[in-house]
């Protein structure tokens, strides 16, 4: 397998960031998140970044065409020639189709789309249980990693709070947005035969092992 071009999907709290870091280390691939890519273009004042900023300053969504063009430029960079890990892109079927067209024009394709699957109730449990200290941002979880004393940071004694975006009602809204945006894209890639589901309810090491096994199987299939 000459290239390893991966897309990561999963609801908030699924552990995509953790798995992306491990995959970067495993395969020496660039991790490309949509938000980082967009902010980088705006900060650097690129032509695409300037156009995107006009929309952002008005409070409008950045059009698909601009996001796709940014992704195309990023994937053309030298460090992405042996592969990449995309996170947060594509967000729509239109973006997925445009990405496929862009890649095919230069003889490339997506190797696999990895869906880290976690049920909604588990996402709510994970995120709503998070606590952060007000002083230095140390993280805890009331169930998985509790402090020694309720609502008090072990490291600096400051108060622990629940962030607004971790409150159950907010998490549920985030999940609704995720399902509305992502499920059509997941279905699109499933029909293409390149979607691979990974059980995200397991521990991070088990999830990582499963992903490694998926990639190993893909490489074997290509070599046959």
Measure the CA–CA gap between 56 and 107, rounded to whole angstroms: 33
What pLDDT is attached to residue 60?
85
pTM of the model: 0.87
Q: How far is CA 122 from the centre of its chain?
A: 18
Residue 42 domain-assigned (yes or no): no
What pLDDT is attached to residue 35?
85
Residue 110 domain-assigned (yes or no): yes
Give phi and psi for 215, each to the nearest 5: -65, -40
Alpha helices in the chain (DSSP H): 16-27, 34-44, 47-57, 64-75, 93-105, 120-128, 168-192, 204-223
Residue 43 domain-assigned (yes or no): no
pLDDT at 205 over 90: yes
Sole residue written with tokens 């960031």: 17
* pLDDT grade for 88, boundaries at 50, 70 and 90: confident
Give the CATH number of the domain where residue 213 resides.
3.40.50.300
Inter-residue contact 85 to 29 (CB < 8 Å): yes
State the DSSP code for 82: T
Those residues with Cβ within 8 angstroms of residue 170's Cβ, 6 or more apart along the chain or in another chain: 164
Domain count within the chain: 1
Model pLDDT for residues 1-34, shown as the tens digit of each residue:
578 999 999 999 999 989 999 999 999 999 998 8
Length of the chain: 224
Model pLDDT for residues 104-138, shown as the tens digit of each residue:
999 999 999 999 999 999 999 999 999 999 999 99
What pLDDT is attached to residue 3?
87
Measure the CA–CA gap between 215 and 223, rounded to whole angstroms: 13
Q: How far is CA 60 from the centre of its chain?
A: 22
Measure the CA–CA gap between 98 and 90, rounded to whole angstroms: 9
pLDDT at 80 over 80: yes
What pLDDT is attached to residue 59?
83
Catalytic residue ranges: 16, 91, 130, 163, 174
Inter-residue contact 85 to 20 (CB < 8 Å): yes
Q: What angle do CA 131, 134, 136 make, to 5 degrees?
A: 100
Residue 45 domain-assigned (yes or no): no
What pLDDT is attached to residue 1?
53
Residue 90 domain-assigned (yes or no): yes
Inter-residue contact 47 to 54 (CB < 8 Å): no
Residue 195 domain-assigned (yes or no): yes
| SS3 assignment, position 154 | coil
Model pLDDT for residues 147-202, shown as the tens digit of each residue:
999 999 999 999 999 999 899 999 999 999 899 988 899 999 999 999 999 999 99
Query: Residue 81 belongs to what domain range?
Result: 4-30+77-119+175-223
Residue 66 domain-assigned (yes or no): no
Residue 210 domain-assigned (yes or no): yes
């Amino acid at each position: 397998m000459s290239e390893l071009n991966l897309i990561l999907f999963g609801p908030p709290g699924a552990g995509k960031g953790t798995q992306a870091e491990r995959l970067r280390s495993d395969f020496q691939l660039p991790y490309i998140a949509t938000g980082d890519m967009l902010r980088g273009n705006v900060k650097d004042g690129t032509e695409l970044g300037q156009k995107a900023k006009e929309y952002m300053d008005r409070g409008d969504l950045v059009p698909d065409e601009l996001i796709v063009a940014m992704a195309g430029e990023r994937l053309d960079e030298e460090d992405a020639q042996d592969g990449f890990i995309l996170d947060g892109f594509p967000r729509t079927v239109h973006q997925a189709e445009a990405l496929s067209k862009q890649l095919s024009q230069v003889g490339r394709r997506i190797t696999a789309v990895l869906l880290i699957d976690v049920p909604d109730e588990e996402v709510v449990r994970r995120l709503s249980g998070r606590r952060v200290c007000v002083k230095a941002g140390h993280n805890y979880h009331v169930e998985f990693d509790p402090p020694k004393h309720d609502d008090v940071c072990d490291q600096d004694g400051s108060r622990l709070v629940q962030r607004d975006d971790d409150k159950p009602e907010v998490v549920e809204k985030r999940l609704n947005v995720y399902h509305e945006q992502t499920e059509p894209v997941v279905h699109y890639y499933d029909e293409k035969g390149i979607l691979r589901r990974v059980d995200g309810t397991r521990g991070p090491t088990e999830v990582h092992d499963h992903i490694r096994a998926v990639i190993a199987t893909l490489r074997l299939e290509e070599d046959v």
